[in-house]
Amino acid sequence: MENRNKGLGRRKFLKALAALPVLGGLAAYGAPILRFLKPNLEPGLGLPKGQLQNLAEMDLPTGGALPLGSVQEFKEPWSFRYFVYTQAFAQYTPQRSKSATIPAMAIKLPNKLSFPGFQQGKVETDIVMFSRICPHLGCIFNFVPNHKEVTAGYGGYTPPPERQHGLMACPCHLSIYDPADAKVPGRVISGPAPREPRYMSYEIRDGILVVTGAEPGGIA
């Protein structure tokens, strides 16, 4: 019995060895079936070069600078405004390109802090702008001017005394952000979010707030 098993063992081993490329071949047949499911993220995959690769000028999505209003309108501390920024974003779809919209907000703070959303880098300002896409799982969060509403409506979190002012809070998983944090504007003070929300970059042109872009990066 032992001997027979041993003799068969070698044959089995060789058979198993021979089976490996066969299995590999079968997997190679399976690969396109799986690849079929994943959408292309850039045009012209598998086509001769130049045929679909370049988006024509007219195909590029429009977007860009968005005038938001004059600085004078943001006088009161904790006044805020929601807006939707259209990002010029070449994204491959059946329509060949698309523009993405980012819900966002601008908040007037009572004190100045250094905010990174400027062309020249960090600048002292009391108007901050954030994308409203939650860096946790992509819901759209809100600005809540009264911190008591955060406690009442977002799971019962009570902010410490130094943060008892307007806060940003997400309805989905109750991440809470402090827009006025001096070190990290938009710092996560409660909830599961892994980072602060993306900032919107803007500039002031002749007293008009103009949104010019969004901090690059995905949801997290």
Partner 1 sequence: MNQLGDRLREWFRERKQKLDLFDETYVDVAQTNPLYTLGQIVYFSWIVVIVTGVWLMFWYEPTEAAAYNSIIRIQHEVPFGWLIRGAHKYAADLLILGILLRLYRMYFLAEYKRPGELSWIILFLSLVLGMISGITGYLLIWNQRAFWAAKVVLTTSIYLDELPIIGATKFGTAIAYIFLGGPAIGQGTLTRFYAIHFGISALCLVAVELYYIFTRRRRFLMSPAMILVLLAMIVATSYIFPAELGRRADPNRTPLPILSDWYFLALYQYVKYTPPLWAGLGPGLLINYGMLIPFLDRTKGRKLSERPFFATVGFVALTWYLLFTALIIWNVAVIDQDPHLIMLATLGAMIVGLILEVRYRRRQRAAEAAQSKPLRPPAGGRAAPSPGA
Q: Using the rule CB under 8 A, is 182 a contact of partner 1? A: no
Least distance in angstroms from the C-beta of 218 to partner 1: 7
- Cα separation, 72 vs 157, in Å, equals 34
C-alpha 6/C-alpha 24 separation (Å) is 27
> Which residues are 70's β-sheet partners?
208
Residue 131: CB minimum distance to partner 1, A: 12
- Which residues within the stretch 123-152 sit at the binding site for partner 1 (CB under 8 A)? 136-142
Give residues with Cβ within 8 angstroms of 68, minimum separation 6: 81, 83, 106, 202, 208, 209, 210, 211
Indicate the residue among 109 and 176 with the shorter CB distance to partner 1: 176
From the CB of 15, what's the least distance to partner 1, in Å?
A: 9
Residues 6+ apart with CB under 8 A from 151: 157, 158, 159
Three-class SS state of 175: coil
Count residues binding partner 1 (CB under 8 A).
38
Q: Which part of the chain contacts partner 1 (CB under 8 A), choosing from 22-30, 54-62, 167-175, 179-187?
A: 167-175
Torsion sign, CA atoms 118, 121, 122, 123: negative
Question: And the tokens for 160?
Answer: 């410490």
According to DSSP, the β-strands at 208-214 and 200-205 are: antiparallel
Nearer to partner 1 (CB atom), residue 116 or residue 155:
155
Stretch that binds partner 1, among 51-59, 105-113, 178-186, 191-199 (CB under 8 A): 191-199
x/- map, 25-64, partner 1, by CB under 8 A: ------------xxx-x-----------------------
| Sign for the pseudo-dihedral over CA of 65, 69, 72, 74 | negative
Q: Which of 86, 91, 97, 212 binds partner 1 (CB under 8 A)?
A: 91
Residues that bind partner 1 (CB under 8 A): 8-9, 12, 16, 37-39, 41, 84, 91, 93, 100-101, 103, 136-142, 153, 155-157, 170-174, 190-194, 218-220
